[in-house]
Each structure stands twice: as C-alpha cells, then as structure tokens.
Amino acid sequence: MNWILTIIIVVLMGFVVVSLVRGIIAFLQTTKIDLENKDNDEHISRMHAQQNKMMFNRVKYQALAIVVVVLLLAVNG
C-alpha cells in the first residue's frame, strides 16, 4: 500500500511541476509589447485564461498530493 501511495505522490508532483511550467510560459508570452498593443486583446485574454487555468491545476494537484500524504501517514500511523 505504501508504494502505491508513494507512486501517486510522485505522479501528482509531476503534474504540479508541469502546471507550474505551463503557467510560467503563458505568463512570459504576455510580454510588455502585447500589453502596450491594444490590437492583441484576444491574445492577452487567452494568455490570462491559460495562466488562471494552470494556477488552478497546480493548486488542485498540490491539494491532492497533501491528501495522499495524509492517507500515507494514516496507514503507517
């Protein structure tokens, strides 16, 4: 049981890292030039939506990882 929960934690950690990197990439794509150019409102809105989605995913996966850690501690406690 311990090794299954450990594998789940590692997978969730991978999801957290992927979400973080994708969110940072979306943030970097919203450059100063994009913000100054009013013709790119659609691009900016899309990047903000992507940033918000990745932030939510990161928090969700972190919460799931904490739940699995609590389960792991409960099983071994």
Range of the domain at 28: 2-76
The predicted pLDDT at position 30 comes to 78
Residue 11 or residue 77, greater confidence: 11
> Each residue of 11-56: pLDDT tens digit?
999 999 999 999 998 888 877 666 677 677 777 788 888 889 999 9
- Say how far apart CA 30 and CA 11 lie, in whole Å: 29
Q: Mutual orientation of helices 2-29 and 41-76 as an angle, nearest 10°?
A: 160
- Looking at the structure of the chain, the number of domains it has is 1
SS3 59: helix
